[in-house]
Amino acid sequence: MTLTICTYDWVPPGPRGFVRDIRLRWACGEAGLEYDVRSMPFDDRQGPAHRAQQPYGQVPFLQDGDLTIFESGACLLHLGEKSETLMPLEVQGRSEVTQWLISALNSIETVTVPWWFIGLSEPAENPLDGWMNGRLDHLEAVLAGRDWIAAGRFSIADILMVDALRIPRDHGALEERVALKDYVARGTARPAFVKARADQIAHFEAADATRETARS
Ligand SMILES: N[C@@H](CCC(=O)N[C@@H](CS)C(=O)NCC(=O)O)C(=O)O
């Protein structure tokens, strides 16, 4: 059964390379799982057809036969069941991977995304600096002693954690944190990440021409 990764048909240039379907593309690439990409109209993202599959009008969501799953973390856990490359089989390793995957979503991304968003308006001081720096310092101490975040090996937990850290990395917050900076570099150097990013960018760029034609 072919997997289908659902994403927008187009997004503006800014978020290209960062849209969270990259997490699913990356996981499939690591595990050698074949997938199709289904495009949902960006302009109709709050319409009933989209919200029937992703209640917030967001992407990604994943289709696997009759199953439709939203939330990138849930999609990764589903993919993890398909390949030991993504998720170890033994209980200790599985629980470590699950723990760190949830941690990336719930203890890192919940801070980094609002921090980045507030920073866009260039306040004299970002009120979330202290909260985010605390989280990153703690994570720096963990990553100082290991290459990958869970179970002594690469897993879906790294896909989420590395991706969540790209925003603070690109906005200068990892400059003094060598372990985190190296960790993101290690993750994003993996061929499956490089391909996932390039494929996503190509997907959105291909839609530029269609939109231009439709508007002219
Ligand atoms: N918690 C969701 C977040 C999904 C999300 O923020 N998706 C963004 C693209 S990366 C989106 O669809 N943004 C458009 C919007 O929120 O209207 C997940 O991890 O899947």
Whole-model pTM over 0.75 = yes
Token pair in block for residue 11: 């997004």
Q: Whose CA is nearest to atom 19 of ligand 1?
A: 72
Give the Å distance between the CA of 28 and the centre of ligand 1: 19
Q: How many angstroms separate the CA atoms of 36 and 81, rounded? A: 19
Nearest to 128 by CA among 142, 108, 143, 144: 108
pLDDT of residue 209: 84
Give the Å distance between the CA of 177 and the centre of ligand 1: 27
pLDDT of residue 5: 98
Nearest 5°: the CA angle 130, 101, 67 is 135
Nearest 5°: the CA angle 152, 111, 94 is 25
Q: Which long-range contacts (CB under 8 A, 24 or more apart) does 95-98 make?
A: 96/150, 96/151, 96/157, 97/150, 97/151, 97/155, 97/156, 97/157, 98/157
Per-residue tens of pLDDT for the chain, all 216 residues: 789 999 999 999 999 999 999 999 999 999 999 999 999 999 999 999 999 999 999 999 999 999 999 999 999 999 999 999 999 999 999 999 999 999 999 999 999 999 999 999 999 999 999 999 999 999 999 999 899 999 999 999 999 999 999 999 999 999 999 999 999 999 999 999 999 999 999 999 999 988 877 777
- Give me the amino acid identity at 131: W
Q: Is any ligand 1 atom within 6 A of the Cβ of residue 174?
A: no
Helix pair 156-170, 110-119: axis angle to 10 deg: 20
pLDDT of residue 124: 95
Half-sphere exposure of 201 (CA within 13 A, CB side): 10
Q: Is any ligand 1 atom within 6 A of the Cβ of residue 72?
A: yes
Give the Å distance between the CA of 136 and the centre of ligand 1: 22
